[in-house]
């Protein structure tokens, strides 16, 4: 099975889960989102809402209405985020409604998400502008909770999922960007991007490919977009870029001199998020 000793570092903690790239995006680049999951029959066939973030130091919440929320951001890690999240999920399932699990002691050996979740359930992500999913719809909103909601929303980078491709997210900071979590092995993806970059075919919707970062064992390429570009403007161009990438990924010949220079530039700008 997928159990690991707590001292083991797992480079791709979400590997083997449906929607691995979206798990990575929710942990690393999307401020406010929810997604669908369910535990296996062994663990009660319980519906679980995976969320980016919960208030305070909460890792998981059993809301008063019975909804179970599990947050993928901010969790302390033993080196295997999947094990840590599974431990929080199993703990919150045993709690009374209206209680939460806070980040605290790191778990020992035990099952991982790949053991606890039903892998036949699609991981369907919904991006939100607010954090109202924290709330039980029937509960009163206290002034403190309202302030927490407003503070969280004010600090969130506007983000929209591009629906025409998998795991690509438009965001607006000082400029507009697209960040696209990819499932391919790093060397294969960087080679493919290098081939496109060398031919000046790595751009997107009039914008330019500016580099990539590593997150939870995957590579997330980033494109800077023309000012004012909206997420809806990327639906067709993202599909076209995906087709170009697929063709470049299928090429197995060694990189030529121009492509090697392009690759060196891409690699020099990479960073790793842990």
pLDDT at 272: 63
The pair of structure tokens assigned to 76 is 């302390």
Mean pLDDT of each 10-residue bin along the chain, 274 residues long: 60 97 97 97 98 90 94 84 95 94 80 98 96 84 82 92 98 96 97 97 96 95 97 98 98 96 90 58
C-alpha pair distances (Å), 274 with each of 66, 95, 117: 32, 30, 23
pLDDT at 135: 86
Neighbours of 129 (CB within 10 A): 12
Global model pTM greater than 0.85: yes
pLDDT in tens, 162-221: 999 999 999 999 899 999 999 999 999 999 999 999 999 999 999 999 999 999 999 999
What is 163-200 written as a DSSP string?
TTSSSEEEEESSSEEEEE-B-S-HHHHHHHHHHHHHTT
CA nearest 30: which of 239, 232, 177? 177
Q: Taking a C-beta distance cutoff of 8 angstroms, is the pair 53, 73 a contact? A: yes
**Cβ neighbours of residue 242 under 8 Å, at least 6 residues apart?**
165
């Amino acid at each position: 099975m997928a159990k690991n000793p707590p001292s083991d570092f797992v480079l791709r903690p979400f590997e083997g889960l449906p929607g691995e790239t979206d798990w990575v995006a929710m942990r690393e680049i999307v401020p406010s989102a929810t997604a669908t999951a369910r535990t296996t029959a062994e663990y009660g066939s319980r519906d679980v809402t995976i969320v980016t973030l919960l208030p305070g130091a909460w890792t998981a919440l059993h809301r008063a209405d019975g909804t179970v929320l599990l947050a993928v951001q901010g969790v302390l890690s033993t080196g295997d985020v999947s094990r840590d999240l599974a431990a929080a999920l199993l703990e919150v399932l045993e709690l009374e409604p209206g209680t939460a699990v806070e980040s605290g002691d790191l778990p020992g050996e035990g099952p991982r998400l790949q053991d606890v979740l039903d892998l036949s359930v699609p991981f369907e992500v919904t991006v939100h502008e607010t954090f109202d999913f924290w709330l039980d719809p029937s509960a009163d909103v206290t002034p403190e909770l309202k302030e927490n909601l407003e503070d969280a929303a004010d600090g969130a980078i506007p983000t929209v999922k591009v629906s025409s491709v998998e795991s690509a997210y438009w965001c607006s900071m000082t400029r507009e960007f697209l960040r696209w979590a990819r499932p391919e092995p790093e060397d294969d993806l960087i080679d493919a991007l290098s081939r496109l970059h060398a031919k000046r075919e790595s751009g997107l919707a009039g914008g330019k490919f500016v580099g990539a970062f590593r997150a939870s064992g995957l590579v997330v390429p980033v494109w800077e977009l023309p000012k004012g570009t909206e997420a809806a403007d990327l639906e067709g161009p993202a599909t076209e870029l995906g087709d170009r990438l697929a063709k470049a990924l299928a090429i197995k010949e060694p990189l030529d001199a121009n492509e090697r220079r392009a690759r060196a530039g891409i690699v020099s700008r990479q960073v790793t998020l842990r």
